[in-house]
A and B are shown apart, each in its own frame.
Chain A
């Protein structure tokens, strides 16, 4: 029972972080139709700067700097690479982000070297216990921050002009343009938000119980891919549900894999992908996206 409750708590916290990251994918996908493979690069560059700055100026300044860097790198990707491309084919531009990702990850890992850097967060390796739950304090804070970020995002998306412009332009870019929506602004703000969200999740994924900032952190963005896809790429609510499903699956797989026998060794590493396969076999465009119908 203890195991179960702890897996649940850990899964929720991890799931919230995946949801934050998946929101980043979804925002960018809705604004531009591109599946952003450079998310890991954004995350890594922001968290790297956070670690660098926090060493001399304290954790909070570091976090701010990291978020800004993540957003700026994302905006540069949009304005310099995507917008200037001759082609507007989404699949090709998706491959372009793969190249951007490789560039960023290679450069940051070169600077990081082989050791992992500490983030100097004040919480450190403290553990909280209440009732049956024992979990790292950082993961509890992660849950709180992630939920707050998600709520703020949803409010922005629902009630601001940006949110309206965003929703309208992802429905029909042509019409939105005619109605006076500035598509380029919607586009770069979406990239900025996506980049910052990636870094926000990354900051917690790098802190305790993880080892710190290392180049493998970029791979965690890939692990959040299924979250965005399970929900349906364009769906904000889907990203949240997908993230939670992913976090819980991973946490439960990690808790129970040892009791399942030899074949399940390290199952938690790929549980997300298995979940993705199962979901897509049942609903080919994710759980929450409207089905595309073609009429001949």
Chain B
């Protein structure tokens, strides 16, 4: 067993027993981070692997979240609802997000590059407008309560707590476990896609659509596939996010969320799945961490007093990191994880664009040295 696998196994065990040691607040933060991680994995497949820059990810996360709420809630006085069983609602919501992504793909095969980036910004604003205006759908500024999830009679909300080894498991603890399973499953699925033929084809599409087409890649279909998969991931993240925060408002699914995801995948290392997870944890936990310990950090003031508070500070930190990673180290957190887990697996690490490699052959001599040394060790 390699060092990396040992680390991952250890981490998983630690995560599974975490509800016994970690306060409810941090489990909740963990749930948010897991939702962000799933969404970010989808986005890094789309942007990092397929090279389709999209700022509309928040829309699909939103479709997942609102889709679940609308399908699962009974219809009320001022709000729409179908009152379906939660499982059916969750699947339906994820499918709705996927279909939304497919609808975007004809546009993406016409409009490319930075034009596509601007179009997707437009989609976010149109989506937010829709949420704000159609109150039967979104609940307006008040928001909508999210029905508890349950599957085959097993409840994942607060209403029927479980007792495992003497500790009551409420919604937060249960969803923590569900989240771990979801992240692991989506990670494995994503790795299959990225490392196998589809991933290769998508990398070719990113480098040059013309070259990919002449090598027999059906560019349109692969792009559509990338949008579909990314949106399905966003949908899963949306459903999980909704169930975790238990109450959703239109403001939560706007442009800021989209930029957050982009920041996450860049800090994590563009194209890297484990990097996306690490980035998600970092960006989600940072403001809460700073907020929790603001009293012990000398220059931070409580939120709302006009000085540098935890929220402002965390924006500074993660924007600073974003800029530094782009400027000097595109490997991002993925590279840090590479140092922790031993030999860098080239297959998982998507190379930078051809141009970069051609103009800068020695990107990071130290990094090359490290991987060489590691390879030597293995052969010995």
Contacts and interface: CB of A to CB of B under 8 A. Distances in A.
Interface of A: 35, 81, 84-96, 98-100, 102-103, 106-107, 110, 113, 222, 225-226, 229, 233, 263, 265-266, 269-270, 273-274, 276-277, 280-281, 284-286, 294, 296
B326 A96 contact: yes
A233 B327 CA distance: 24
B259 interface: yes
Contact of A274 (B110, B126, B320, B322): B126
B360 interface: yes
Contacts of B107: 277, 280-281
Interface residues of B, number: 51
Given A94-B117, A103-B315, A106-B316, 11 more contacts: A35-B117, A85-B327, A89-B353, A91-B113, A93-B326, A95-B326, A99-B326, A225-B118, A269-B125, A273-B125, A277-B119
A277 to B, nearest CB: 6
Contact of A88 (B51, B306, B320, B359): B359
A106 B315 contact: yes
A217 B312 CA distance: 18
Contacts of B126: 270, 273-274
Nearest to A84: B327
B320 to A, nearest CB: 7
The 8 A-B residue pairs whose C-beta atoms are closest, nearest first, are A273-B122, A99-B322, A85-B327, A284-B110, A106-B315, A103-B319, A96-B326, A35-B114
Q: Give the dominant DSSP class at A's interface.
A: helix
A225 B121 contact: yes
Interface in B349-380: 352-353, 355-356, 359-360, 363
Contacts of B110: 280-281, 284
B308 interface: yes
Contact of A86 (B112, B210, B360): B360
Contacts of A103: 315-316, 319-320, 323
Contacts of A229: 115, 118
Contacts of B37: none
Given A99-B326, A269-B129, A296-B214, A91 B53 contact: yes
